[in-house]
Amino acid sequence: MERVTVARLILREIQRAKLNTVLCAATVLLAVGVLVAMVSLTRASVDATRVMMKQLGFNVLITPPGVDPGRYQALDFQDADMPEDYVDRLAESTALAQHFVGKYQKTLLIDGCTAVLTGVRPELPKLGTRMAPMPTAYVVPEGRVFLGFAVARALQKGPGDSLAVLGRAFTVDKVLDEAGMIPDDIRIFANLHDVQALVNRPGRINAIDALSCYCPVDVDDIMGALEDSIRRALPDVNVKPYTAILKARNEQRRMMYRLEVAAILIVVVGSATAIWGLTYQNVRNRRREIGVLRALGVADWRIAMLFIGKILAYGIVGAVAGCALGWAAAALLNTTGRPVTPSANMLIGLVLAAPAASILFGLPPVFTGLLQEPTEALRDTAA
């Protein structure tokens, strides 16, 4: 019966202070809604950038030790190579990269046309992950080749044609879209094992392409962290990150993270101040009732429960409504082209945390009201 009596008193308190209750619930609703919308939109933006970066292609090049970077960029891949199983070791490591493709490259002349013969093995994702393959991670069947746009035009070859490479005939499987850059447009992609056999280097590769897109936001030297993580798995290799792309990506993630933290702090401080002030006003307006109850010998904890129960009620209602409002606002304001779906853990956490935080912010004025002597409360209200 006691629990029912307290519940009825809480309902009566809500009915008598409708405006105060609505304002408190609206405060929680807006705070939770802003948090859900802000976090959802920032994460959708980061995810959209991740997809865009993936479409741009690999951003880390790993080469054998001793390779001269200048000669490499001039398409002189030299004779240095490394074991093919380095790709597997990277995929099984804790390197800050995903999507690994091993390849063997060799520059050659075919009918007077300069081309880069590129043997590739199917992409290997990071161990324990399931990711869609990179758009430039080609799977070339044995005995077939994919031609870059420029080399196909120079050789006047198309799908179904035969092409002789180092004395072996291959069938052109497809001609790739124009990339607009060298060496991609002059590449002849073939199966890695076919190229290894042609150059008599079985089980060897001379480059690994990788994609780095999940570097920690709290790392200042992102290039150093990436290189160190790769060298822990392969100590003797050269690591060449595409610095501009990686730095832009990392700065974007850090900016969004700081924006998210700032928004959370502003919302928490603002809502805490509003709830404290509204609860203080509510307690002050109920000084006479508090004084009467205490004079009649009602325990302080039971009086406190009237206010705490009210705070808990509007905290739950405001949190649930705020989650729905924030989700709808995020979907309405989303311009990334990526789906905006707040995580279930975040929504559950907010529904639990918002009422608890409301109680925490409302306790000081409640306890302040209970510390006042009943006679003083009755005297002040009578005056």
How confident is the model over 344-370, as pLDDT tens digits? 888 898 899 888 988 888 888 887 777
| 91 contacts 204 by C-beta, under 8 angstroms | no
Tokens of 340: 């905006």
Alpha carbons 221 and 103: distance in angstroms, whole number: 28
What's the pLDDT at 149? 92
What's the pLDDT at 371? 65
Pick the more confident residue, 268 or 169. Answer: 169
HSE-up of residue 52 (Cα within 13 Å, Cβ side): 14
Q: Whole-structure pTM over 0.85, yes or no?
A: no
Pick the more confident residue, 286 or 103. Answer: 103
Kindly give the interhelix angle for 344-371 and 18-56, rounded to the nearest 10 degrees: 150
Pick the more confident residue, 342 or 12. Answer: 342
Reported as a single tens digit per residue, the pLDDT across 72-85 is 877 888 778 899 99
Q: How confident is the model at residue 258 (pLDDT cuts 50, 70, 90)?
A: confident
What's the pLDDT at 99? 84
Tokens of 241: 């990150």
Q: How confident is the model at residue 257 (pLDDT cuts 50, 70, 90)?
A: confident
Alpha carbons 375 and 377: distance in angstroms, whole number: 5
What's the pLDDT at 3? 46
Q: How far is CA 334 from CA 8, 25, 282, 331, in A?
A: 43, 26, 39, 5
Note the residue count of the chain.
383
What's the pLDDT at 1? 40
Q: What are phi and psi of 324, to 5 degrees?
A: -65, -45
Mean pLDDT, the chain, whole residue set = 82
Alpha carbons 90 and 127: distance in angstroms, whole number: 9
Strands 144-147 and 168-175: parallel
For the cut 60, the answer to whether the pLDDT of residue 248 exceeds it is: yes
